[in-house]
Amino acid sequence: MSLGGSNRLMSPDEVAAYLGVPKKTVYDRWKEWGLRGIKVGRHLRFRERNVEAWVNAQEISYLKDVA
C-alpha cells in the first residue's frame, strides 16, 4: 500500500495546529494514538503523510461505529 501525502517532517507545534489541539496533547498522546515519531537529535518530528493517514483512519473508525 502506498501512502499519499508529503514526506515533510512536522514539529509537534505544527501537528497540534493541524489537529486543532494543544501542543501538550500531542506530546502526551502521540504514542497512544499510534503516530510514528522520528527523533532528529533531541527534537520530535512526524511525517506529514503519517499524520494525514492517522486522521483518515480516525474518520473511517468513526464512520464504521455509526453505521
Q: What is the 3-state secondary structure (H, E, C) of the chain?
A: CCCCCCCCEECHHHHHHHHCCCHHHHHHHHHHHCCCEEEECCEEEEEHHHHHHHHHHHHHHHHHHHC
Query: How confident is residue 65, by pLDDT bands cut at 50, 70 and 90?
Result: low
pLDDT value for 1: 41
Q: How many CB atoms lie within 10 A of CB 14?
A: 17
Q: Domain limits of the chain?
A: 9-66
pLDDT value for 59: 76
What's phi and psi for 7, nearest 5 deg? Answer: -85, 0
Which pTM was predicted?
0.79
Per-residue pLDDT tens digits for 1-32: 445 568 899 999 999 999 999 999 999 999 99
- Which fold is adopted by the domain 9-66? Multidrug-efflux Transporter Regulator; Chain: A; Domain 2 (1.10.1660)
Question: Is the model's pLDDT at 60 over the cut of 80?
Answer: no
Give the span between the Cα atoms of 52 and 67, in whole angstroms.
Answer: 23
pLDDT value for 24: 97
